[in-house]
Chains A and B, each alone.
Chain A
Amino acid sequence: MPTSFIQPEFKVKIDYDKCHKCGRCVQQCGWGVYNFNERPIPDDSKCRACHRCVTYCPAHCISIEKNQLAYRDNDNWSPAARKAVWRQAETGGVLLTSMGNPLPYTRIFDHLVLDACQVTNPSIDPLREPMELRTFIGHKPDSVGVEPDGNGGFRLAEGEGMKNNLMLDTPILFSPMSYGSVSLNVHKSLAMAAQRLGTFMNTGEGGLHADLFPYQDNVIVQVASGRFGVSPDYLSRGAAIEIKIGQGAKPGIGGHLPGEKINKEVSSTRMIPQGTDAISPAPHHDIYSIEDLRQLIYALKEASGYKPVGVKIAAVHNVAAIASGIVRAGADYVYLDGFKGGTGAAPQVIRDHIGIPIEIAIAAVDQRLRDEGIRNWASVIAAGSIRSSADVAKAIALGADAVAIGSASLMALGCHLCQSCHTGSCSWGITTQKPELTRRIDPEWGAEQLTNLVHAWSHELQEILGALGVNAIESLRGSRERLRSIGLDEQMNKVLGVKPAGM
């Protein structure tokens, strides 16, 4: 019997004429691809195409190629489908994977285009004019009550005005990613970058390591179904609290951090024994309906002195009604995670087949909240594959207050989307707890990379706003009139509230 029907996905090619025989590739590879016997000998079957060795090879003599093994043509039974059957026949298990949904669903963002000013109104030059991206996340009242201040001016009347909002210098946050799934150095990079950028990172459900305390004013602390790391101290440190109900990559299921990733530091941060699997239940066992959510929201507010409390949900079919319920339950923001969002580990069948695209979720939720007259009551944060500043602008034009980036931020730290986070062997030192790998990220460098990325996108956002002839992000927010669709059907245009180009 063969040990496996599955052939290696990639071929590692080394140009031995150029190879220095330095062994750098052996040392760099987290997957154990290379053996060294006078020269590096690759085992193709272990390669994840993460390009760590390629990047670090001083001779540039390594290339990774697709294994062009021919399969008998069959549109129905793609090679991937056949491999999945073979793998499950061999293991009897659920197929695990990570990062976002790679299947070729319609990418709606790529079918939306933005407007620009010509003649009848002027475009604005962001190099010469102010261009404001400041964004407040949280509950806003429907109106502002003022009273004369006695000096000819006005002051807020008792109990009036906006309270307890998060102030962002740019409408881009970092998505929740737990310490445990990513390394402490990644968390530090995110926290430092968030502080420099005037935005927020999010602990995910892994607790807040003491090394991040200096950055706590730029940290959103998450409360998920496993309650890992949650304590009164934890709640008091965060700038805001987020209840995680679901995640775009794995709606409806819980989380699983394997015991191998639970070292001493992770264990103390999560407040669980070292080496044990950290399993978050699928539902919160104290939230079986919307009224339970309301209780938790207010419990957390009471416990934290009324910090903003947000609720993160996966974008699913009924997302508009759910979001409306969440807003009415008292949440200060709703975090919508689309089905292309990343994950540190998820069953492949769930990642690839459950949930809806973020574009649709934003449109449906924003419209529903407006229809019900409660759009001001909570902010909408959108995530689930925001790939560029264009995606940010389109998400905001559809109605999001801000976006969160996870995959893109990890890419800034070296992630090559090899979809192997769950193995804990990330060669880039991102989704691993192995000290020899985690030290590959210097938080100072990581913060710089992340800051650069968000700065670059923010500049591009300013250029887009200028072309649109507005000088503040709130004038783009929900302004679907500035979007047109190309190649979407009428029904989809209706759902998105967007006209086709030409109209």
Chain B
Amino acid sequence: MTTERPRYAEEASYKIHGGCGLMGICDESGKLMSGEDAILAMAVQHDRGNGLGGGFAGYGIYPEFPDHFAFHMMYHDIQAKEEVEALFDQYFLVDLAEPMPTRPVKGITDAPLLWRYFLNPYPSKLEESELSAEDYVVKAVMNINSSVDGAFVASSGKNMGVFKGVGYPEEIGHYFRLEEYEGNTWTGHNRFPTNTPGWWGGAHPFALLDWTIVHNGEISSYGINSRYLEQFGYKCTLGTDTEVAAYLFDLLLRRHKLPMELACKALASPLWDEIDRMPEAEQAVMRSLRSVYGPGMLNGPFAIVLGFNGGMVALNDRIKLRPLVAARKGSILMVASEESAIRAVIAEPDSVWMPKAGEPTIARVKGMDWPIHGDLHLDPSEISCAVTGTERSCDTVEVTA
């Protein structure tokens, strides 16, 4: 039986430009905050989007299932759901499968079928695969995105989730009833694409496992960034800017084991003038970083917030061509495209500042480990479409799971 269904892993066969608004908030003490705060922060940044994409990521939101991988799924139709659930049954022990709790919201139309699953790898299959649980999950994500038409994995990490779709972020937030969730870290995004793909998966955050990225910007160096990544096995043909940022973080943090601070310095390098004035040892590090990772340097305007179990990192481009404001109140660190968003959530912040160009703003939740990828050993070519969701890259992924 054949049905006409879109490839859900595809957004568009060309590069999509766009501007955006974003936010991130993290309570470093680990205290939980309602998703309402994230909605509020995005609502005051309404005009930064055009209603074609909004989304949130929340961390620590599933205390009842802290050790399960939480799969947030988008389905075009029942058949896609059945196909994916058959895969789940084969490879995972699903402890809970339920429709995402939503409510009707004016402005939200054409929603796909939204389901979530709390699952763990089937122990004997995991053992048989000789993979870590994380690798096993990524392979499954990739398998679904590439081989099941009409199905898309919005997020797949533990104790976290991504809620996104086509609409303004405050509409999306209320649609997903985010005020009913509590998390230690939230990120949010408001999208202004220059075309109208109307694709729910294309909204930010992009996610793989517990790692999410929201991005405002246009990477003018996309051409060389993508060619650089291809050298390491990543496939980014016809992808989005966000995808190269995500892969570069993966390359620098996971594969080359750079500390977060230096990874950020490699991606948004200081000027040579500044490097020349640094103390000798620091200069040697920066010279090498810039020369070695020059092809990966993200040039052009961007503001990015990376979220993960354990905190978040916000980063601006090297000459701050996109807005990013930060504030602190006690143990809470918040960043946003506009100060208004911060003041909407935190009435009287202890301090508000503009993070300098290329200076990462880092929040770490107390007591939580940092290896943000968990036990992940995948080859870059294997994680391609999991993050990108472009059809072209999916076609080239070999599925072995």
**Whole-angstrom CA separation of A141 from B295 in the bound complex:** 13
**Whole-angstrom CA separation of A376 from B227 in the bound complex:** 12
The total of chain B residues at the interface (CB under 8 A) is 49
Q: Which of B251-267 contact A (CB under 8 A)?
A: 255-259, 261-262, 266
| Residues of chain B lying within 8 A (CB to CB) of residue A121 | 17, 217-218, 220, 300-301, 321
**Whole-angstrom CA separation of A142 from B251 in the bound complex:** 11
Closest chain B CB from A155 CB (angstroms): 5
Check: B231 CB closer than 8 A to any chain A CB: yes
Q: Which of B1-43 contact A (CB under 8 A)?
A: 17-19
Knowing A120-B194, A470-B300, the reply to whether A160 touches B230 (Cβ < 8 A) is no
- Are A130 and B273 in contact, CB atoms less than 8 angstroms apart? yes
| Residues of chain A lying within 8 A (CB to CB) of residue B319 | 124, 129-130, 471
| Residues of chain A lying within 8 A (CB to CB) of residue B255 | 143
- Are B272 and A134 in contact, CB atoms less than 8 angstroms apart? yes
Closest chain B CB from A502 CB (angstroms): 12
What residue in chain A is nearest B290 (Cβ atoms)? A474
Q: Which of A470-489 contact B (CB under 8 A)?
A: 470-472, 474-482
Which of A146-154, A224-232, A299-307, A384-392 touches B? A146-154
Q: Mark B356-378, 1 if CB is under 8 A from A, else 0.
A: 00000000000000000000000
What residue in chain A is nearest B193 (Cβ atoms)? A120
Check: B224 CB closer than 8 A to any chain A CB: yes
**Whole-angstrom CA separation of A394 from B54 in the bound complex:** 39
- The one of B220, B232, B271, B295 in contact with A373, judged by C-beta atoms closer than 8 angstroms, is B232
What residue in chain A is nearest B252 (Cβ atoms)? A143
**Whole-angstrom CA separation of A160 from B297 in the bound complex:** 20
Q: Which of B205-250 contact A (CB under 8 A)?
A: 217-218, 220-224, 226-228, 230-232
Check: A468 CB closer than 8 A to any chain B CB: yes
Q: Which of A357-374 contact B (CB under 8 A)?
A: 370-371, 373
Q: Mark A380-405, 1 if CB is under 8 A from B, else 0.
A: 00000000000000000000000000
Q: Give the A-B pair count, Cβ closer than 8 A.
A: 131
Check: B285 CB closer than 8 A to any chain A CB: yes
| Residues of chain B lying within 8 A (CB to CB) of residue A155 | 281-282, 284-285
Q: Which of B284-308 contact A (CB under 8 A)?
A: 284-285, 287-295, 297, 299-301
Q: Which of B256, B291, B293 has the most CB of A within 10 A?
A: B291
**Whole-angstrom CA separation of A55 from B232 in the bound complex:** 56
| Residues of chain A lying within 8 A (CB to CB) of residue B271 | 130, 132
Closest chain B CB from A243 CB (angstroms): 23
- Are A120 and B218 in contact, CB atoms less than 8 angstroms apart? yes
What residue in chain B is nearest A133 (Cβ atoms)? B272
Q: Mark A200-227, 1 if CB is under 8 A from B, else 0.
A: 0000000000000000000000000000
| Residues of chain A lying within 8 A (CB to CB) of residue B261 | 154
Check: B318 CB closer than 8 A to any chain A CB: yes
**Whole-angstrom CA separation of A70 from B78 in the bound complex:** 82
- The one of B19, B256, B297, B321 in contact with A474, judged by C-beta atoms closer than 8 angstroms, is B297
**Whole-angstrom CA separation of A137 from B285 in the bound complex:** 18
| Residues of chain A lying within 8 A (CB to CB) of residue B194 | 120
| Residues of chain B lying within 8 A (CB to CB) of residue A475 | 220-221, 224, 297, 299-300
| Residues of chain B lying within 8 A (CB to CB) of residue A124 | 319
Check: A34 CB closer than 8 A to any chain B CB: no
| Residues of chain B lying within 8 A (CB to CB) of residue A275 | none
| Residues of chain B lying within 8 A (CB to CB) of residue A140 | 291-292
What residue in chain A is nearest B15 (Cβ atoms)? A481
Closest chain A CB from B370 CB (angstroms): 14
- Are A132 and B220 in contact, CB atoms less than 8 angstroms apart? no
| Residues of chain A lying within 8 A (CB to CB) of residue B221 | 470, 475-476, 479
Closest chain A CB from B348 CB (angstroms): 30
Check: A165 CB closer than 8 A to any chain B CB: yes
Knowing A370-B230, A474-B294, the reply to whether A132 touches B284 (Cβ < 8 A) is no
Closest chain A CB from B337 CB (angstroms): 16
**Whole-angstrom CA separation of A141 from B258 in the bound complex:** 14
What residue in chain B is nearest A161 (Cβ atoms)? B288
What residue in chain A is nearest B279 (Cβ atoms)? A153
- Are A161 and B272 in contact, CB atoms less than 8 angstroms apart? no
**Whole-angstrom CA separation of A146 from B292 in the bound complex:** 13
Closest chain A CB from B19 CB (angstroms): 7
Closest chain A CB from B219 CB (angstroms): 8
- Are A376 and B292 in contact, CB atoms less than 8 angstroms apart? yes
- The one of A120, A136, A160, A478 in contact with B291, judged by C-beta atoms closer than 8 angstroms, is A136
| Residues of chain B lying within 8 A (CB to CB) of residue A117 | 220
| Residues of chain A lying within 8 A (CB to CB) of residue B285 | 144, 146, 154-156, 161
| Residues of chain B lying within 8 A (CB to CB) of residue A480 | 223, 227
**Whole-angstrom CA separation of A476 from B224 in the bound complex:** 7
- Are B227 and A132 in contact, CB atoms less than 8 angstroms apart? no
Closest chain B CB from A366 CB (angstroms): 9
Closest chain A CB from B176 CB (angstroms): 29
Q: Mark B317-338, 1 if CB is under 8 A from A, else 0.
A: 0110100000000000000000
Check: A188 CB closer than 8 A to any chain B CB: no
| Residues of chain A lying within 8 A (CB to CB) of residue B290 | 474
Q: Which of A105-152 contact B (CB under 8 A)?
A: 117, 120-122, 124, 129-130, 132, 134, 136, 140-146, 149
- Are A474 and B220 in contact, CB atoms less than 8 angstroms apart? no
**Whole-angstrom CA separation of A165 from B319 in the bound complex:** 27
| Residues of chain B lying within 8 A (CB to CB) of residue A418 | none
What residue in chain B is nearest A476 (Cβ atoms)? B224
Knowing A120-B194, A120-B218, A482-B223, the reply to whether A162 touches B321 (Cβ < 8 A) is no
- The one of B269, B288, B321 in contact with A160, judged by C-beta atoms closer than 8 angstroms, is B288
Q: Mark B62-100, 1 if CB is under 8 A from A, else 0.
A: 000000000000000000000000000000000000000
**Whole-angstrom CA separation of A482 from B220 in the bound complex:** 9
**Whole-angstrom CA separation of A433 from B231 in the bound complex:** 49
- The one of B17, B220, B293, B294 in contact with A477, judged by C-beta atoms closer than 8 angstroms, is B294
Closest chain B CB from A462 CB (angstroms): 14
Check: A469 CB closer than 8 A to any chain B CB: yes
Closest chain B CB from A154 CB (angstroms): 6
**Whole-angstrom CA separation of A373 from B224 in the bound complex:** 14
**Whole-angstrom CA separation of A141 from B293 in the bound complex:** 10
Q: Mark B87-118, 1 if CB is under 8 A from A, else 0.
A: 00000000000000000000000000000000
Give me 5 other A-B pairs in contact (C-beta within 8 A), A154-B261, A162-B287, A479-B222 excluded. A140-B291, A145-B257, A149-B281, A155-B284, A470-B299
Nearest 9 CB-CB pairings of A with B: A481-B223, A474-B294, A479-B223, A475-B299, A121-B218, A475-B221, A479-B224, A161-B288, A120-B17
B interface residue numbers (CB < 8 A to A): 17-19, 194, 217-218, 220-224, 226-228, 230-232, 255-259, 261-262, 266, 269, 271-273, 281-282, 284-285, 287-295, 297, 299-301, 318-319, 321
A interface residue numbers (CB < 8 A to B): 117, 120-122, 124, 129-130, 132, 134, 136, 140-146, 149, 153-156, 160-162, 165, 370-371, 373, 375-376, 468-472, 474-482
A-B contact pairs, 20 of them (CB 8 A): A117-B220, A121-B300, A121-B301, A122-B301, A122-B321, A143-B292, A146-B258, A156-B281, A161-B287, A373-B231, A375-B295, A376-B292, A469-B299, A472-B297, A474-B290, A476-B221, A478-B223, A481-B222, A481-B223, A482-B223
